[in-house]
Amino acid sequence: MKSQRFKLSIAALSVAVLLSLSAVVYARSEAQKSDAQKSFDNLKALAGSWQGPVTMVPAQADMQMDKPIQVSLRVTSKGNALVHEMQEAGTPLDATKYDHPVTMFYVDSDRLTLIHYCDAGNRPRMTGKVSPDGKKVEFEFADLSGGNQYGHMYHAVFTMVDADHHTEDWTYMMPGDKPMHARMDLTRTK
Taking CA atoms, 29 is separated from 39, 45, 153, in Å, by: 15, 19, 35
pLDDT at 23 over 90: no
What is the C-alpha radius of gyration for the chain, rounded to an integer number of angstroms? 22
**Structural contact between residues 156 and 170, judged by C-beta atoms closer than 8 angstroms:** yes
What mean pLDDT is predicted for residues 27-35? Answer: 67
Fold classification of 35-188 (topology level): Lipocalin (2.40.128)
Residues 7-16: contacts with CB within 8 Å, 24+ apart? Answer: none
Q: How confident is the model at residue 151, as a pLDDT?
A: 94
Q: Which helix (H) or strand (E) holds 139?
A: strand 136-146
Which letter does DSSP use for residue 34 in this model? -
Low-confidence winner among 56-60, 69-73, 86-90, 153-157 (lowest mean pLDDT): 56-60
pTM of the model: 0.79
